[in-house]
Structure 1
C-alpha cells in the first residue's frame, strides 16, 4: 500500500469511518472528503432526507455574535471546545428559530413561513411544511402575523424517527409531519397546560406541571391526528411554597431524558413589591430528574460532572473539561432569559434596544445560586465573553423575538 492511504480496502475504510462516527459526525464528514474511493465505501450523511439520527451533529451551537463575514457564522462544540465557521447564505431569506433538532438549525422562510432543518456540516436542508398550515382555515393567509406566533418552541422526532414533531407553546399546539409533506397535522394541547417538550430515542415527550406525556401518531401512513398520552407523574419538590414553576425537558446523550424544574418563590416574611414579583430576578430553586424510559418513572438525578444551560426554547449540555481555565462549573444549571424592550410597528413586534441576558447559576452540590446580568451587543470587541456568557447568550437568545406576543416581552432592564 505504501503511503497511498486512498488504496485502503473497503473493510478498513468502513471500520475507520464507524470509529470516527462514534466520536462526532464532523470527523466522519472530513474523512469522506479525502477522496472519491473513501466516499464510495461510506454512506452519504444526507440519506433519509438528512434526518438519519447517527449523522446529526451533536453538541454544536451557532454562536450569538456578528457574522465573521456575510452569512458566515461560527459554531462551537460544547463537548470538545472545537470551533468551525459555516457559510449559510440561506439566512438572507430565512430566520433562525430557537429550538434545534440535534444540531440542526430550524429555519423559517420569511415570506412563506415554511420550515427547514439546516445541517451546518453538510449544508443540506430538510424541507418541512409551512407554519401557515397550523392556522385555522378561515385565517389561512400567509400575510397575517399569526404564522409567526406559531413558531415552534421545541422540535424533535416522533413515532420512532418516522415523523418530525413540533410544540408551539405560544398557541398550545403540537403537530407532526414528514419531509415533503404539504401540511402539519396538529391538535391543541391547551387543556393540558404543557410547559415544555423534547424528543429522545425517536420519541417525543411533553410535560405539564404534574404529568409527563408521550406524543404518537400513525407516522408511517401520514393519516389522522396526533395524540398525547400520559405516561408518568412528575414529582413535586418540597421545602418551599412555589409562586410559579418552569419545567424544561432536555435530551441527554440520545437515550435519556432530563427534566429540570425551576421553582420560583418569595422568601417567607418578605412582601412582594406592589407591581408584583419580577420573574427575572426573584429567588428560585432548581431540581433535576431523569426519566427512565423503560418503566416510565421520573427520579431525582444529577448532572454527572457536566453543566446544563437552559433558556426558554433552547437547552445545551457543556463539558467543563473542554474549557480549562474558564468559569464553567461542573454539576451546575445555568438558566438564562432575555431581557429586552419591544415595540409594535406595522402589526409587527420588533426588538427595541440591546439584548440583556439575566443569568442564574444553580450549583446542585450545595444548593447555592448566583445571579448576574450581562449585555450582548454581538460585538466581542465591545463585549468580550467567556464560555459561560457565550452559551448563555445562545440559550437566552430572543431570535424571532419580534414575533413573540405580550407574554414573552420583558420589562425594563434590571
Structure 2
C-alpha cells in the first residue's frame, strides 16, 4: 500500500467501552499486567479503576500469582527493592517499595500481600500490596501480644530464632484479616479500623496444636491439631474439625505441613522412619495426603497433579510450584524439597514420592545459605521461616518490660 494511503491507528482512542473491557480481562488474569495497561496512556488510565482507591481487601487487585523471593540482606542491592516471581509464568520482576528499610516483613499472605511491621519505630501492623503499594493499617502487634502474657512468650522461646506469621491472610468475608503465629499456636483476627486483635488460642487445654505450617485456601484458614485438620470459623471465632487424621502424629517428633497445591489442600506428614542409615541414625519419611473437604477424609497420594508440581516445605511455611515454569531438569515433579530450617537439609535436599529416594544436599550450612546457588536454593529460602536476629532481640526486650 502506498505511504499516502497508509492510515495510522490511534490506540489511545479506543473508547472507554473497548478499553474498559480489555482492562477487565487483563485484571482478571494478573494485576501486574493491569498496572502496565494503566501506565500506557492517560485515556486508558481514565477508563479503568484505580487500585489504590479500593484498598487491600479488594481481591481484584491482589497480586495472588506473585511470590516475594527472600534473599540475605548482604545480597540486597537496595533496602527498598525486592524481587518477585510469578508462579504462573516464571517471570521475575524487581519492585521498588519505599519504606521497607523501616519495616519487617512478617509474612507473605496467600493473596500475595505482605504483612509488615513498622519496626523499630512502632509495633503497627500493615497489609502492603507490593504491586499497587497500597498500605492498610491493622491494630498494633502489642495489642495482640498483651493478651498472651509476657511470661508465656519467654517460656516458649518464641523470639529466640523465629517469629513466623506464615498462614496469614484474608477470610472469605473480604473484611477480616487473620494473623497467624503457628509456633505460638495463636491466631489474631481484626478488621481495618479495629483498635485490637481478637485472640484465638488453640494451645490448651485441648486440642493440642501441631505448631507447623498452616494454610489459607479460598479464603479459609486451615491448621492441624491432634484432633485433625481444623478450619477457622469466625462467628464466633473457633476451630472446627474438617477431617480426622488417619495416622498417629507425635507433637514432639513429627511435623505436619498444610499447603495449597493447584487449588487442593494437601498435607505432608514428616516423621521418623523405622529404617536407619549406615550410622544408625533414624531417617525421615514424608507421607502426603489430599484433604477431601467434602468427605472429611485424608487420602494418601504419591503425586502432585500428575507429576506437574513440586513442594517446598519449611517448618512454618510451604510452597507448591508448577515445574513447567522452570528450565528442564532444574526442578523435579512429585518431589518434596526441604527448606534450610529443617534439620536434615544439611544432608538431604529433596525427597521423591514415587520411589522414596532422596536427593543429596551439597550445602554444608544446614541453617541458611548466605547466597542461593541454585533455583532450588532460591525457592527453599522462600520457605525458610527465619528472620533476623536484631528484630528478634527487640521483641524479647519488649516482652520483658
Common fold, TM-score beyond 0.5?
A: yes
Residue 374 of structure 2 aligns with which residue? 386
1:91 aligned to which of 84, 89, 100: 100
Q: How many Å separate the matches in 2 of 1:310 and 1:263? A: 14
Q: How does 1:11-410 map to 2 (within 5 A)?
A: 11-46=17-52, 48-57=54-63, 58-65=65-72, 66-111=75-120, 112-136=122-146, 152-191=165-204, 192-195=207-210, 196-218=213-235, 226-236=237-247, 244-253=253-262, 255-267=263-275, 283-301=283-301, 302-304=303-305, 305-338=308-341, 360-374=349-363, 375=365, 378-379=370-371, 385-400=373-388
The aligned residue for residue 350 of structure 1 is none
Following superposition, the deviation at residue 398 of structure 1 comes to 1.2
RMSD: 3.4
Between the aligned partners of 1:337 and 1:193, the Cα distance in structure 2 is 26
- The answer as to whether partners of 1:309 and 1:334 remain within 8 angstroms in 2 is yes
1:130 aligned counterpart, secondary structure: coil
| Structure 2 gap ranges (5+) | 1-6, 394-401
Question: Given that residues 216 and 222 in structure 2 are in contact (C-alpha distance below 8 angstroms), is that contact kept between their aligned partners in structure 1?
Answer: yes
Contact 1:61 1:77 in 2 (8 A): no
For each residue in 1:173-227, what CA deviation from the matched residue of structure 2 results, as whole angstroms up to 9, or x when unmatched? 1121112221110021003222332111112122124411111224xxxxxx621
CA shift in 2, pair 1:55/1:357, >3 Å: farther
Write the deviation string for residues 39-71 of structure 1: whole angstroms up to 9, x where unpaired: 232233345531222322114222314223342
Partner SS state of residue 134, structure 1: helix
Following TM superposition, by how much is the alpha carbon of 1:358 offset from its aligned partner in structure 2, in angstroms?
6.6
Report the TM-score when normalising by structure 2: 0.79
3-state SS of the aligned residue for 1:303?
coil
Change (3 A) 1:242 1:139: closer
Q: Which has the higher strand share?
A: 1
SS at 2:111 equivalent: coil
For residues 393 and 138 of structure 1, the distance between their equivalents in structure 2, rounded to whole angstroms, comes to 30
- 1:396 is paired with a residue whose SS is coil
Q: Distance in 1 between matches of 2:284 and 2:390?
A: 28
- Worse overlay, 44-53 or 186-195: 44-53
Q: Secondary structure at the match of 1:19?
A: helix
Question: Do the aligned partners of 1:100 and 1:314 also contact (CA within 8 Å) in 2?
Answer: no
**Native 8 Å contact 2:84 2:93 kept in 1:** yes
Q: Unaligned 5+ residue runs, structure 1?
A: 219-224, 274-281, 341-355, 406-414
Is the alpha carbon distance of 1:268 and 1:373 closer, same or farther for their aligned partners in structure 2, counting shifts above 3 Å?
A: closer
Matched-pair contact (CA < 8 Å) for 1:157–1:200: no
- Secondary structure in structure 2 of the residue aligned to 1:50: coil
Aligned residue for 1:96, secondary structure, equals strand
Alignment length (residue pairs) = 367
1:156/1:164 contact within 8 Å kept: yes
Which sits farther off after the overlay, 261-270 or 166-175?
261-270
**Residues 27 and 175 of structure 1, relative CA distance in 2, 3 Å threshold:** same
Aligned match of 2:10: 4
For 1:19 and 1:357, how far apart are their aligned partners in 2?
46
Cross-structure match for 1:222:
none
Classify 1:153/1:5 alpha carbon distance in 2 versus 1 (closer, same or farther; 3 Å): same
